[in-house]
Amino acid sequence: MAFDIQKIRADFPILSRKVNGYPLVYLDNAATSQKPQAVIDSIVYYYSNYNANIHRGVHSLSQEATDAYEMARKTIQEHFGIKNAHETIFTSGTTHGINIVASGFTNLLKKGDEIIVSAMEHHSNIVPWQMLCERSGTILKVIPMNENGTLQFSAYEKLLSEKTKLVFVNHVSNALGTINPIEEIIAKAHEKGAAVLIDGAQACSHLKPDLQKLDADFYVTSAHKMYGPTGIGLLFMKEKWGNILPPYQGGGEMIKEVTFEKTTYACLPHKFEAGTPNIAGGIAFGAAIDYLNTINFNEIETYETELLAYATQSLLEIDGLKIYGTGPSKTSVISFNLEGIHPYDIGTIVDKLGIAVRTGHHCAQPIMEYYKIPGTVRASFSFYNTKEEVDLLVKAVKKAQLMLG
Ligand SMILES: *Cc1c(COP(=O)(O)O)cnc(C)c1O
């Protein structure tokens, strides 16, 4: 083991609590991750010591808060390898970021233009684009999936044409754990002159993308899935798009000059950051990234890959257990079902034993439709989970099978 797991677990206060009389086994990290003390402290410290509105005040507190918020932006920019600080836009999360882009394209598309989504997206990377299609008369095309939960790349290449204006796929599927070949997806789209948005919500707790190298036009993610707080996220957009896209919301902070005749908009990133932002959240997002980098992403990847292999092997020893998402390139997410048993019933029983897993469609109903299932049980692992916890999960699932079978 490359790093000290007990020391890491001690950084997350919630991991030492009990649920239903049992030590908590938290395996719902794909829905949201737990927060290290450093992140919690940064929020408490902000509200206890320098809470003030930013960017507007001349007073000292406002200056301190502005400096900390802008410092966090810098931390995020550097972590993601973004060229310019002003291409690093704070949002309330992935959903917000996608809506900013989808809304912004309304007048840039015309009837008959095409946009491409994949069959394994979260609803938040489907619905805003369907709404865009309704407004603009654009046609939505879907990259189909293989049985093992990977995308059909050759079908994607066939969908691309001069009509394609935009491609949007997730970096990692939240329901299957599949890591998509986004480098190739981006390169192929760019050959046709189409822009690409990558939904990184599920990727950034496991991988460290280098956005300059990746060359996506847009990349969105949520802090709460990478050990930061809820209500804050990143929208990266290339400067070029920042100048082309209109603002999403009007209000304070996003203007240069307002008169009743005409308003001119502020430059990036403020053009897309109307209103008082989640200041504490932005600062704590920076703290989460600082924390992650003390552990180091190579070690996180190595540890989680080992944990995934162990969990996959252990779960497959259960009779009648089927795993969805068995492609060669995966993060530590296991979606499964037991033959003849509803996923909800398994989730309920393992919860009685202190184990948190998610059951249902995971906001990805098209995937469930593809497999003709009502949903799955999803166990999603973080670097703070252990093999002992995997053993407890396996034991609990076996118990559920006995009770329900
Ligand atoms: C969680 C998730 C989203 C939505 O993120 P929010 O934080 O709810 O806005 C989008 N896509 C994927 C792949 C996700 O896992």
Six token digits for residue 22? 């049992």
Residue 294 CA to residue 197 CA, distance in Å, equals 29
Residues carrying CATH 3.40.640.10, the chain: 40-293
Closest CA to 396 of 362, 354, 366, 338: 354
Alpha carbon separation from 44 to 22, 49, 51, 195, 219 (Å, rounded): 29, 8, 10, 40, 29
pLDDT tens across the length of the chain (405 residues): 457 999 999 999 999 999 999 999 999 999 999 999 999 999 999 999 999 999 877 899 999 999 999 999 999 999 999 999 999 999 999 999 999 999 999 999 999 999 999 999 999 999 999 999 999 999 999 999 999 999 999 999 999 999 999 999 999 999 999 999 999 999 999 999 999 999 999 999 999 999 999 999 999 999 999 999 999 999 999 999 999 999 999 998 888 999 999 989 989 999 999 999 999 999 999 999 999 999 999 999 999 999 999 999 999 999 999 999 999 999 999 999 999 999 999 999 999 999 999 999 999 999 999 999 999 999 999 999 999 999 999 999 999 999 997
To test the ligand 1 pocket, which listed residue (92, 122, 168, 230) has its Cβ within 8 A of the most ligand atoms? 122
Ligand 1 center from residue 221 Cα (angstroms):
7
pTM for the model stands at: 0.97
State how far the Cα of 175 lies from the Cα of 379, in Å rounded to an integer: 10
Ligand 1 pocket check for 201: Cβ under 6 Å: yes
Integer Cα distance of 289 and 81 in angstroms: 13
H-helix or E-strand spanning residue 287: helix 279-295
Helices 297-316 and 387-404 pack at an angle, to 10 degrees, of: 30
Q: Which residues of 140-173 are buried (b: 16+ CB within 10 A; e: fewer)?
A: ebbbebeeebbbeeeebeebbeeebbbbbbbbbb
CATH for the 40-293 domain, from 3.40.640.10, 3.40.50.150, 2.40.50.140, 1.10.3720.10: 3.40.640.10
Exposed / middle / buried, residue 134 (Cβ in 10 Å: 0-12, 13-18, 19+): exposed
SS3 274: coil
Atom of ligand 1 nearest to the CA of 171: 13
Q: How would you class 48 by CB atoms within 10 Å of its CB: exposed for 0-12, middle for 13-18, buried for 19 or more?
A: exposed
Please give the angle made by the CA atoms of 164, 111 and 241, to the nearest 5 degrees: 55
- Whether residue 30 contacts residue 380, with contact meaning beta carbons closer than 8 Å, is answered with yes
5-30+297-400 folds as: Aspartate Aminotransferase, domain 1 (3.90.1150)
Give CA–CA dist 357/334, Å, rounded.
10
Token pair of 316 as six digits: 């497959």
Judge whether 267 counts as a catalytic residue: no
**Domain span(s) for CATH 3.90.1150.10 in the chain:** 5-30+297-400
Closest CA to 199 of 125, 141, 131: 125
Does the beta carbon of 124 lie inside 6 Å of ligand 1?
A: yes
